[in-house]
Amino acid sequence: MFPGPEIHAHKGDTIWVNVTNTGPYGVTIHWHGVRQIKYPWSDGPEYITQCPIATNSSFLQKIILTEEEGTLWWHAHSDWTRATIHGAIIISPVNGTSYPYKFDEQHTVVISEWYARDTKDIIDEALASGGDPDLSVAFTINGHPGDTYSCSDDSIYNLTVVQGKTYLLKIIHAGLNEEMFFGIAEHNITVVGMDGAYLKPLNTNYLMITPGQTMDVLVTANQTSGRYYMVFSPFTDTNAPSNNNVTRGIFQYSSYNQSETPALPELPGSTNKSDAGNFTIQLRSLNSAEHPSTVPTSITRNVTITVSVNQQPCPANQTCTGPDGSMHSASLNNISFSNPSISILQAYYNNINDTYNKTFPDSPPFVFDFTGNVSAIGEVANVSTEVLMIDHNDEVEIIFQGTNLGAAENHPMHLHGYSFYVVGMGDGNFSDSYISDYNLVDPPYVNTVGLPKNGWTVIRFKADNPGVWFMHCHLERHASWGMAMVLVVKNGVNEDDRVLPPPDDFPTCSGS
Ligand SMILES: [Cu+2]
């Protein structure tokens, strides 16, 4: 199935999924946005928490829902296999409670990218040559490329609606490498949730969504009976190669003549950074009595992380196809993450040495005008497997600082094991003078945030979930180039605050 099967659950449920790999190479599955309290064993990123599930073997994964409510998703987390292995997780309120909004029907809308070749071959070849990976050849809505491609006209997503009804669209961005604008012709949309948490209703005529994010939006069929295109159009504020096609489906009133040409929405242009930012900065958590915000205000751990696209020199006796004959690379605090040979969780839990270093720096190793003219700054990063150690229950603030190295662009930063509050965001270099402008009342509570091109973003969370948690750019090519790191949140002193034991069938790394 493409997209894969939906999982439906209620808040607080525990879900068991028996994952059997019938594909030709190893794979892992991640439950994106599920906190998995004290249980990183099922989190999924390969070589971080587990090794791949081998062909023709199974792993019974336990997905522990706690506070999550709304839309999340699951996807493969090995190489680029998530391109085609993904699906929705729909989490309803527990019985006896209700949604903080009204709707008549809900529909899942998965935006994805389709590649012409096996995505494992694409990224393996790109990493070997140092060059750019193939671009996708189409974007799809619920598996349909739509009528902007030379495919069958039948292959378009149609949502048939009834005049006067309100529809809850659960939008999931499962694409690999492009952020997206979305809108429906002549209809306003109201964003009411994101990443498994509620938002204050935000009325808009477009949204911007990054890979890794989910958004719950309401749309009411309150216009003249007709056919209206719903369009996803890429946001690409970079000079890196990008797929600039659009994909569209049809929002059509049930009573209408289906031969009419639908109307098109007006969406921001593909390089419109200000429209992307203007949407994102309006997001606010609901912060109601039933769904209060609990923003950490007594920070005990401050971390600043630069987010960069880099180059590595071409190895001797090799030809590389990256910029000026080099190899593409990417880094956090100038460290380009390198996968270990056994999982970091396995090594951490069993006290196995020499798998990773505990020396990820709390601040950039050297300071420059990060978002200015960087032509005199070397672009080489250190390739290493570094983790950031965090004490249990620390109140953590991370300042992400984009840099102008390589091809600057928006980076959707994603953290496993946590959602976090986005308390500040802006252009240019971060400055302490921005602290007084933080939103500590109702900032959005999300698992993925778009760090603006040549800008900064500040997030906060309480480190109440011990374990080994991956943090990375959700643009897959950047993650593959090393724009990633690992947080190890230590156990607390109480028996209740420790990582639980592993399951019996955990895919360890020896022999896989
Ligand atoms: Cu990125």
Cβ atoms 456, 191 nearer than 8 A:
no
Over residues 153-175, the mean pLDDT reads 94
Q: How far is the CA of 450 from the centre of ligand 1 (A)?
A: 9
Q: How far is the CA of 484 from the centre of ligand 1 (A)?
A: 9
Q: How far is the CA of 278 from the centre of ligand 1 (A)?
A: 20
Q: Tell me, what DSSP letter sits at residue 93?
A: P
Q: How far is the CA of 73 from the centre of ligand 1 (A)?
A: 20
Q: How far is the CA of 64 from the centre of ligand 1 (A)?
A: 29
Q: How far is the CA of 162 from the centre of ligand 1 (A)?
A: 40
Q: How far is the CA of 238 from the centre of ligand 1 (A)?
A: 11
Over residues 301-322, the mean pLDDT reads 96
Instruction: State percent of the chain over pLDDT 90.
Output: 94
Q: How far is the CA of 483 from the centre of ligand 1 (A)?
A: 7
How do residues 88-97 score in pLDDT, each as one tens digit?
Answer: 999 999 999 9
Q: How far is the CA of 116 from the centre of ligand 1 (A)?
A: 23
Rounded Cα distance, 197 and 451, in Å:
20
Over residues 14-30, the mean pLDDT reads 96
What's residue 275's pLDDT? Answer: 97
Q: How far is the CA of 421 from the centre of ligand 1 (A)?
A: 20
Q: How far is the CA of 480 from the centre of ligand 1 (A)?
A: 10
Q: List, in sequence order, every residue forming a beta bridge with 46; answer none if it has no partner.
A: 50
Q: How far is the CA of 451 from the centre of ligand 1 (A)?
A: 9
What's residue 510's pLDDT? Answer: 66
Q: How far is the CA of 397 from the centre of ligand 1 (A)?
A: 20
Q: How far is the CA of 55 from the centre of ligand 1 (A)?
A: 30
Over residues 370-378, the mean pLDDT reads 91
What's residue 511's pLDDT? Answer: 43
How do residues 33-81 score in pLDDT, each as one tens digit?
Answer: 999 999 999 999 999 999 999 999 999 999 999 999 999 999 999 999 9
Confidence of residue 150 (pLDDT cuts 50, 70, 90): confident
Over residues 324-353, the mean pLDDT reads 96
What's residue 379's pLDDT? Answer: 80
Question: Minimal CA–CA distance to 290: which of 69, 59, 453, 446?
Answer: 69
How do residues 431-472 score in pLDDT, each as one tens digit?
Answer: 999 999 999 999 999 999 999 999 999 999 999 999 999 999
Q: How far is the CA of 481 from the centre of ligand 1 (A)?
A: 9
Q: How far is the CA of 412 from the centre of ligand 1 (A)?
A: 6
What's residue 2's pLDDT? Answer: 95
Rounded Cα distance, 311 and 338, in Å:
15
Mean pLDDT of the chain: 96
Over residues 163-179, the mean pLDDT reads 98
Confidence of residue 256 (pLDDT cuts 50, 70, 90): confident
Q: How far is the CA of 404 from the centre of ligand 1 (A)?
A: 12
Q: Is the dihedral of CA 343, 347, 353, 357 positive or negative?
A: positive
Confidence of residue 32 (pLDDT cuts 50, 70, 90): very high
Q: How far is the CA of 275 from the centre of ligand 1 (A)?
A: 19
Reported pTM:
0.97
Q: How far is the CA of 475 from the centre of ligand 1 (A)?
A: 5
What's residue 153's pLDDT? Answer: 63
What's residue 291's pLDDT? Answer: 97
Q: How far is the CA of 70 from the centre of ligand 1 (A)?
A: 26
What's residue 512's pLDDT? Answer: 38
Rounded Cα distance, 420 and 424, in Å:
12
Over residues 421-439, the mean pLDDT reads 98
Q: How far is the CA of 364 from the centre of ligand 1 (A)?
A: 17
Cβ atoms 303, 399 nearer than 8 A:
yes
Instruction: State percent of the chain over pLDDT 70.
Output: 99
How do residues 346-366 score in pLDDT, each as one tens digit?
Answer: 999 999 999 999 999 999 998
Confidence of residue 508 (pLDDT cuts 50, 70, 90): confident
The reply to whether omega before 503 is within 30° of 0 (cis) is no
Place of tokens 């724009």: 483
Place of tokens 């009342």: 441
Q: How far is the CA of 468 from the centre of ligand 1 (A)?
A: 21
Q: How far is the CA of 104 from the centre of ligand 1 (A)?
A: 37
Please indicate whether residue 116 or residue 154 has the higher confidence score (pLDDT): 116
Q: How far is the CA of 228 from the centre of ligand 1 (A)?
A: 33
Range in 251-265, 320-334, 377-391, 460-474 the model is least confident about:
251-265
Q: How far is the CA of 471 from the centre of ligand 1 (A)?
A: 12
Rounded Cα distance, 227 and 206, in Å:
18
Query: Given the DSSP bridges, would you call strands 395-402 and 301-312 parallel, antiparallel or unpaired?
Result: parallel
